[in-house]
Structure 1
Amino acid sequence: MGKTAFVMLLRRSLRTKTGADICRLWRIHQALYCFDYHLEESREIKDMLLECFINVNYIKKEEGRRFLSSLFNWNINFIKMIHGTIKNQLQGLPKSLMVHIAEIYFRAWKKASGKIMEAIENDCIQDFMYHGVHLPRRSPVHPRVRKVLSYFHHQKEVRQGVEEMLYKLYKPILWRGLKARNSEVRSNAALLFVEAFPIRHPGFNAIEMDSEIQKQFEELYSLLEDPYPMVRSAGILGVCKITSKYWEMMPPTILIDLLKKVTEELAFDLSSADVRCSVFKCLPIILDNKLSHPLLEQLLPALKYCLHDNSEKVRVAFVDMLLKVKAVRAAKFWKICPMEHILARLESDSRPVCRRLVGLIFNSFLPVNQPEAVWCERCVALLQMNHAAARRFYQYAHEHTACTNIAKLIHVIRHCLNACIGRALSACREDAEEPGKENTSALDQTLSVSDAASMAGLLEIVVILWRSIHRSLENNKEARVYTVDKFASVLPQYMRVFTDDRCRTPLCVLASLMPAPAVPVFSCGVISTLRNQEEGTADRTYCILLDCLCSWGHVGHILELVCDWLPEEPPQSKGNLASKRKVRVQDPCPVKPGLALVYVEYLLTHPKNRECLLSAPQKKLNCLLKALEVSKGDLESILQSSDGSPPRLSEGTALRAFSLYCRLSIHLQHKFCSEGKLYLSTLEDTGSWLESKVLSFIHDQDEEYLKLHRVVYQQIIQTYLTVCKDVIMVGLGDCKFQTQLLQWSLGLMQTVKGLFYVSLLLGILKEITGSSLTRKTDSEEEVAVVFDMVQKVFQRMLECMAWSFKKQPEEGLQLLYSVQTPLHEFIGTVQCWHVDTPVHRGVFSTLIAASVVEISHQLRKVSDMEELTPPEGLSALPPFSRCLIGIIIKSPNVVRSFLDELKACVISEDIEGIVCLTAVVHLILVINKGKHKSSKVKDVAATIDRKLKAFMEITLEEDSLERFLYESSSRTLGALLNS
């Protein structure tokens, strides 16, 4: 009856997700011993029991774990099956379940005895230990094995017999692992050693125990001096964990020696940032032990310059350590790292470091538990200590306190500024009365409106603080209205009093944070100020004024001003007579097309302003686009240098306008993409204009004339290619656009002799090959046409580069260096997304052809056959091939694909003849000597060797080049195949 119920409950518990059957099964688990392990009828029982070990319901439930641990006692042979099942499924089990898995093993070991216990220890626990030492760190199983072992390490302090078991089982594995030649094995062994320390037998007498502990301290020292950084990092972790835990029991000499080794040597390890980082990540572990504070207070100040470490992660870890020092009150953090160092770092460091530094010094400069007047005093003190650091401090201050405190600080600073102005006015009137209702303090008496640096600093802080809580103010209407009213009432006075240039910018920004009606005097004068700006001056005050208009939603005023300044299209020929009869009214204000373009470029460049610009009415945007398009006619006039009317725009201005025209058309296409390809077609028309006007001009003119206009036509082409690349990158260019662009590029390479555009063209090819994966609307036929064009453009480009290098070697060499990065990115994109496709094969066959042709040409030119020696490395190849192969050997995947295509070309006889085959031999020799060697090299070598044998009879003629190359290649291939 018990056997039947056991089988029924076991089967049902595996089918259902409820835990009730598992609880019932645990109550009758003794029924298992009624089954004979060796009988055939028990096979199904074994399979179901093993399935229980990978069933999450069993592992999560207490009764389930008890049941699973009891199964180890059924039969000694079943233990290996259990362990094998668990090991095979470790990778698929969540890490959170590893503690439960370890608990199952531990319970089984605790209840076992005799041979069962030996089997659990040797076949299970020691097997985990072995894999904990020898598994690669990148293996997903490794952290799971570590978690299982960690459970046993923690049990040794609370369970009798565990320490003895660990000592016995680790003895043949751990000490050997710590001495292994493989650095990763040493590192794994070090982590286990640190976690299990001290590994000792409880039966040792005092002398034996001291000897064993001394031996383990020596191991700890050797870890700190290991040549491999990961092992040294593990040693640092070990020192910090062990000293923190056993501070009272460790001899003082060993304690001080270990910590000095860490803080005086490894904290400044020049060979590894990871080791330096480990020092500061692990020292907080020691700080948890209060007994360590006096010693660390003496040692840590020597580390103050680590705040300026080249590695960001080291700086982050160092500041985290200072935060820990502050939290546990081990020492004054500014005695470890002086405040001037902290502020210097805060001034220039990255966001992760700055946020932590602000948290470190926050209470020093914004003590929220003290009176608000003190906040302002500390603010001024910080400004005087380091102006830039003060800006960064208040930029992140809102992350460390409530928004209400930030709002209070804004108004405290306003009170302070008002008091300064009041005192200045009183001094002017020579009146001894109090300066108004504003509160005064000791700080008020030390500040003056004549101190422009402090005044500008306080105004900047107000702006920074207001921006940091801008969203909170938007959600709190009452607080926003109060703040706007208060500052709107004093802003006119601030404008009159704070006349220094350093104060003007924050005051303008402050005005932009308020609605335009709140600051009518200022807002009404912004456009006139912009209109009166001088063209060509270096003054950038226009930036903040443009920001103001955008924040107020007045971008339409800017567009009207810009369109007024840009020249209109010339009148049509039909209306010439009528236009002559019209009375023209001269605008007294001079036009400033250059300044208009500066304004437009600023708006397009800054994201928030660009968003405001593009939200303007479409009619006004079209007007701006049309005004910018006029630049094409001026560029034509400049290129043609006709005797007619001079261009309305200068050369630099026309080029800038053309660039903005192209850029704006794409922004408009992105904004109004729902209306079709309205604006993308303007870019396509621009391509047609380039082909009919610019490229035809280049084709028709002589070399001397082109030299005079080289800058103009080169910048036009570069501007167009740059914008087209961006179009494809953001997904706006469909297959039709890409095909037209590639077709245009072929015409460009046919017409223009200089190769200034190659880097941009490679970027376009890269974006096209990558964008095909994200576009789902294009048909397979359209994509195939695009990729066919990509191959043609790439082939033509390499031909032009080879021709350029042949005609002008020095310029060609500079070109090769300049295109290495974009060429590497293009090849990498093709390799990553298009393996075993026509475009992949086409690109790699083009690379092969370019290299083989150049090397073959070099071989044929050699007059002395003794000079025909196989290349010793990449540097022995001719320049063009050296560049191409240098890019290819950077990636093992690219190397494999290159060799596959090389083999295919040899087999298909696309590469034939002794000279060309010898060139291929040179290529595979260089690849074989690179850092990414491939087994495919021998496959290619064997294929070439078979092809070469077909030329055996042809090379019988003595002293011929072919014979010499044949014999040399045969010897080289033989040595390679036999190596």
Structure 2
Amino acid sequence: MLLECFININYIKKEEGRRFLSCLFNWNINFIKMIHGTIKNQLQGLQKSLMVYIAEIYFRAWKKASGKILEAIENDCIQDFMFHGIHLPRRSPVHSKVREVLSYFHHQKKVRQGVEEMLYRLYKPILWRGLKARNSEVRSNAALLFVEAFPIRDPNLHAIEMDSKIQKQFEELYSLLEDPYPMVRSTGILGVCKITSKYWEMMPPTILIDLLKKVTGELAFDTSSADVRCSVFKCLPMILDNKLSHPLLEQLLPALRYSLHDNSEKVRVAFVDMLLKIKAVRAAKFWKICPMEHILVRLETDSRPVSRRLVSLIFNSFLPVNQPEEVWCERCVTLVQMNHAAARRFYQYAHEHTACTNIAKLIHVIRHCLNACIQRAVREPPEDEEEEDGREKENVTVLDKTLSVNDVACMAGLLEIIVILWKSIDRSMENNKEAKLYTINKFASVLPEYLKVFKDDRCKIPLFMLMSFMPASAVPPFSCGVISTLRSREEGAVDKSYCTLLDCLCSWGQVGHILELVDNWLPTEHAQAKSNTASKGRVQIHDTRPVKPELALVYIEYLLTHPKNRECLLSAPRKKLNHLLKALETSKADLESLLQTPGGKPRGFSEAAAPRAFGLHCRLSIHLQHKFCSEGKVYLSMLEDTGFWLESKILSFIQDQEEDYLKLHRVIYQQIIQTYLTVCKDVVMVGLGDHQFQMQLLQRSLGIMQTVKGFFYVSLLLDILKEITGSSLIQKTDSDEEVAMLLDTVQKVFQKMLECIARSFRKQPEEGLRVSDVEELTPPEHLSDLPPFSRCLIGIIIKSSNVVRSFLDELKACVASNDIEGIVCLTAAVHIILVINAGKHKSSKVREVAATVHRKLKTFMEITLEEDSIERFLYESSSRTLGELLNS
């Protein structure tokens, strides 16, 4: 009954309960071990937040105890926690809870007499041994406790003896920084930074400088571990909290500037966080530690986590909201001139650091600046002429020497900045109609002039984007000419200005005009027959303008690819969408013609356009199925019909032809199969494909493998099998038999795939090789370093952490049971382990599998007695690689 109180949360959470539980320790010395055992057994199930209460119970019991009971609490309870804090694996769910209990005691030494001496005495037999242990994880755990409890000393010692003990602990810090195991070095860095920040004034200057030079001069550039480099920049901000450290760090930190370009994102993030801390505590000028040029280069190219932090770092430099608005514009121009791309990224995130009203003000300040440049270029007034607009006059005087309409790059940059800023506050302006109307009216009045002056393509694109933000009625001359511009484009033109024009039409709700244009250009099924029939009945006026089917496909693909435009396209009348779908379907006849007629010319689409049109037909049918799914499988059945067409026309044709003839048409039929499989994979992935569709797809996949030679489809089929397996386990079906049948077919398809690949490799072994010479074989660092088929399989596996864990369990079992044996197979297993370990879904099981493979490899040790051979080379390479992995 009393022991049950120790696992009752109500007792643990309440003050009276904890007081009662702590008293039970002093009841009977034999009861202490039973209490401690009960608590230890329950640690895994207790919340981490309760650990402070558990620690308090132990601490109160220790404080009240004396004699044999005190000795029992110290040796059987507190020291037992210390032992487990050092020897428990990090991945153990209990490890962090044990550390919480010990942390409570570490913090009590500052406020309770006797705690420091007790910690010194109890840690003495186990902590220093743990720091020297052969097991790297034990050393790492011991290092954490050492750092947290530092300094570990007996206050009763004489000054000389105490200094000697502290000196030894500083030496331990040095040894932690030089440990071969990265996690121990990282812990050492944490220790150095925490200890120097806390005891800066008391530490000998030589030791302090040496430790910091070791951290900033060596470990910040530790090429063997990104975690160690990251630890440097995560821990240095702790020292910055101590103002006495600023003069020394101001000298040491500039040497770290190139860490901003580290190849690890987490290191770059930590480095920028450190710069933000430097700026916040005013320890130094951040641009003296890392020059602005470096910051802008990273801002231009880096990922979102780094870029957002960099914007926060330099925000006040380029958008000083406490200064006049003209200064904002001046800084904007400076940033554009320093680094055009970085300026775009800066203003993309600027709205996160200031009010939307400031962003709106900046938009209009830039507009005034552009207006002033245009007026200056048109009028070229004498020096003494007064400007009508006082604000524009100020802008002219500030930027007169640096800004001109002839500076196309700068003008385009400023226009792009306006677009980016407008986009960033578009939602906010929806809630402030007055501000939005004001902005639209102001730009509507100047955009015609901008179009006349800024004729370069770099300026036109942002101008067109600005037009898309406004209603068509606000820019009538431009909006009326958009369709004409799209119609007059040449097929094969490289520039992408059509994108913004299509965006404009979609945002104005004029997607019908695009469909009409596309409809006129696309071939129809019975166009010729209709033309002949119509000509008998009446006189026709023929449109002499050339049709451009390839350009029509470019427009459709752009609309389908971009979510907002796709939404506009699918909101068009259903009749028009069905007509478009039918027009694209004519590509099937053209593809048949291309395959069946040597050198023949298709009737509608060209040889290059037909596969593209076929792909768009498949994609559009699925988008329509998603939109109109409530009406049944109307459009999904079209994709099923496409599957029947593939079987009856394409696969049957391939089956009947000679190899030499097929070689001439390989590209076409491979494109058809890949397009179909890609769309079907997406159908299953988004949940549109029911059980029947999935079953048909698997049967069709078997047909493809039986008919088509090669393995160009393997990656897609693997994706399909993965998606079908995943969805069959999630979707509700009428019976388990359906699921069993589906999964059985998945196995058949996978088995057939392996057979096809093995057959291909026997005929063309070079297709499956990554390297042909053993001497060229090196342990892979990335997925791309694996041979083709292994790359496909492992590429699928590493996409999911659950699949990675299952795969590693199976791999370990196969190695342990000798299903995988021999040096060649074990080397292959090593290479797979390395690639998984380098992926984003790292698993703790990697080390377990690596250890199993390592043990199995050791059974082949006698091979080292032989002369040079392939097996010996593979054995030595794999043993060395596994040794490095297990000791890292």
Task: Calculate the TM-score normalised by the size of structure 1.
Answer: 0.79
Shift of 1:251: 0.7
Aligned partner of 2:517 among 536, 555, 561: 561
Residue of structure 2 in register with 1:317 after alignment = 270
Q: Structure 1, residues 14-38: CA drift from partner, whole Å, max 9, x if none?
A: xxxxxxxxxxxxxxxxxxxxxxxxx
Change (3 A) 1:718 1:299: same
Distance 2:765 2:162 in 1: 75
Report Cα offsets for 1:297-336 as digits up to 9, x if no partner.
1111111111111111111111111111111111111111
Q: Which residue of 2 aligns with 1:54?
A: 7
Structure 1 distance, partners of 2:409, 2:259, is: 32
1:598 aligns with 2:554: yes
CA contact (8 A) 1:670 1:732 kept: yes
2-structure distance, mates of 1:827, 1:277? 28
Give the aligned partner of residue 766 of structure 1: 722
Q: Given the superposition, is the C-alpha separation of residues 784 and 104 from structure 1 closer, same or farther in structure 2, using an over 3 Å criterion?
A: closer
The 5 Å alignment of 1:133-532 reads: 133-427=86-380, 432-436=385-389, 438-441=391-394, 442-446=397-401, 447-532=403-488
Q: Does 1:610 align with 2:566?
A: yes
Contact 2:714 2:792 in 1 (8 A): no
Return the offset for 1:574: 11
Residue 642 of structure 1: how far off its partner (Å): 7.8
Q: 1:780 to 1:348 in 2, by over 3 A?
A: same
Cα displacement string for residues 79-101 of structure 1 (whole angstroms, at most 9, x for unaligned residues): 22222222121222222222222
Deviates further, 221-230 or 112-121: 112-121
Q: Does 1:728 align with 2:684?
A: yes
- Between the aligned partners of 1:730 and 1:413, the Cα distance in structure 2 is 44
Distance 2:438 2:518 in 1: 36
**Equivalence for 1:631:** 587
Per-residue deviation, 1:577? 6.3
1:874 to 788, 806, 825: 825
Structure 2 residue 53 is the aligned partner of structure 1 residue 97: no
1:81 has 2:37 as partner:
no
Instruction: Report the Cα distance in structure 1 between the residues aligned to 2:325 and 2:391, rounded to whole angstroms.
Output: 14
Contact 2:685 2:723 in 1 (8 A): yes
Structure 2 residue aligned with 1:14: none
Task: Report matched runs for 1:577-592 at 5 Å.
Answer: 580=536, 583-592=539-548
Mapped contact 1:187–1:234 kept (Cα < 8 A): yes
Equivalents in 2 of 1:549, 1:746: separation in Å? 45
CA distance in 2, matches of 1:424, 1:543: 30
Counterparts in 2 of 1:195 and 1:808: CA distance versus 1, 3 Å: closer
Q: Is the 8 Å Cα contact of residues 422 and 436 (structure 1) preserved in structure 2?
A: no
Q: Does 1:822 align with 2:792?
A: yes
Q: Distance in 1 between matches of 2:438 and 2:804?
A: 61
The whole-number CA distance in structure 1 between the counterparts of 2:330 and 2:799 is: 57
Q: How many angstroms apart in 2 are the aligned matches of 1:495 and 1:167? A: 79
Distance 1:772 1:826, change over 3 A: farther
Following TM superposition, by how much is the alpha carbon of 1:244 offset from its aligned partner in structure 2, in angstroms? Answer: 0.8
Whether the 8 Å contact between 1:805 and 1:813 is mirrored in structure 2 is: no
Equivalents in 2 of 1:220, 1:645: separation in Å? 78
CA distance in 1 between partners of 2:74 and 2:385 (Å): 92
Deviation digits for residues 468-505 of structure 1 (CA, Å, limit 9, x no counterpart): 11111112222212211211221111111222222111
Paired letter, 2:67: G
CA–CA separation in structure 2 for the residues paired with 1:86 and 1:931: 33
Deviations 1:401-421 (A, max 9, x none): 111111111111111112222
Which segment drifts farther, 499-508 or 609-618? 609-618
**Paired residues of 1:734 and 1:778 also in contact (CA < 8 A):** no
Q: What runs of 5+ residues in structure 2 fail to find an aligned partner?
A: 772-785, 838-847, 858-888
Counterpart-to-counterpart distance in 1, 2:576 and 2:287: 58
2:165 corresponds to which letter in structure 1?
Answer: E
Matches of 1:711 and 1:50, distance apart in 2: 76
Question: Would the alpha carbon gap of residues 221 and 888 (structure 1) be closer, same or farther in structure 2, given more than 3 Å must change?
Answer: closer
How many residues are paired up?
824
Amino acid at match of 1:449: V
Cα separation, 2, equivalents of 1:436 and 1:66: 78
Q: Assess if the C-alpha contact under 8 Å between 2:519 and 2:580 holds in 1.
A: yes
Shift of 1:55: 2.3
Are residues 428 and 700 of structure 1, via their aligned partners in 2, closer, same or farther at CA, if it must alter by over 3 Å? farther
**Retained in 2: the 8 A contact 1:320–1:356?**
yes
Q: Give the partner amino acid of 1:270.
A: T
Q: Deviations over 1:821-879 (max 9, x none)?
A: 3334668999978999xxx99xxxxx99xx99xx9xxxxxxxxxxxxxx9543399xxx
Q: Is the contact between residue 98 and residue 148 of structure 1 (CA under 8 Å) also seen in structure 2?
A: yes
- State how far apart, in whole Å, the 1-side matches of 2:835 and 2:295 are: 41
**Secondary structure of the structure 1 residue equivalent to 2:151:** coil
Structure-2 separation of matches of 1:249 and 1:437: 62
Task: Tell me what 1:129 maps to.
Answer: 82
Identity %: 77
- Structure 2: how far apart are the matches of 1:829 and 1:103? 44
Q: Deviations over 1:717-758 (max 9, x none)?
A: 221112112211222111211222222223323333344323
Write the letter of the residue equivalent to 2:480. C
In the TM superposition, what is the alpha-carbon distance from 1:429 to its structure 2 partner? Answer: 10
- C-alpha RMSD of matched pairs (Å): 3.2
Cα distance in 1 for partners of 2:144, 2:415 equals 54
Kindly provide the amino acid, as one letter, of the partner of residue 202 in structure 1.
Answer: P
Match of 1:692 among 648, 654, 666: 648
Q: Which digits, 9 at most, give the CA deviation of each residue in 1:262-319, with x for residues without a partner?
A: 1101111111111111111111111111111111111111111111111111111111
* 1:52/1:613 CA distance change after superposition, 3 Å: same
**Aligned AA for 1:821?**
R
1:175 Cα offset (Å): 0.8
Higher RCO (CA-CA < 8 Å; seq separation 6+): 2
1:304 and 1:158 map into 2 onto residues whose CA distance is 42
How far does residue 438 in structure 1 lie from its aligned partner after superposition? Answer: 4.3
State how far apart, in whole Å, the 1-side matches of 2:576 and 2:141 are. 67
1:560–1:436 Cα change, 3 Å: same
Any stretches of 5+ residues in structure 1 without a counterpart? 1-46, 842-846, 856-869, 877-881, 893-927, 938-979
Maintained 8 Å contact 1:179/1:186: yes
1:555–1:613: 8 Å Cα contact kept in structure 2? yes
Contact 2:85/2:98 (CA < 8 Å) preserved in 1? yes
Counterpart of 1:499 in structure 2: which amino acid? K
1:898-937 to structure 2, matched below 5 A, reads: 932-933=852-853
Greater shift after overlay, 729-738 or 695-704? 695-704
Question: Do the aligned partners of 1:597 and 1:656 also contact (CA within 8 Å) in 2?
Answer: yes
Counterpart of 1:443, as a letter, is V
SS in 1 for 2:461: helix
Q: Does the C-alpha gap of structure 1 residues 272 and 570 become closer, same or farther in structure 2, counting only changes over 3 Å?
A: same
Higher gyration radius (CA): 1
In structure 2, the CA distance between the partners of 1:269 and 1:562, relative to structure 1 (3 Å rule), is same
Does structure 1 retain, via aligned residues, the 8 Å contact 2:702–2:752?
yes
Residue type of the alignment partner of 2:400: Q
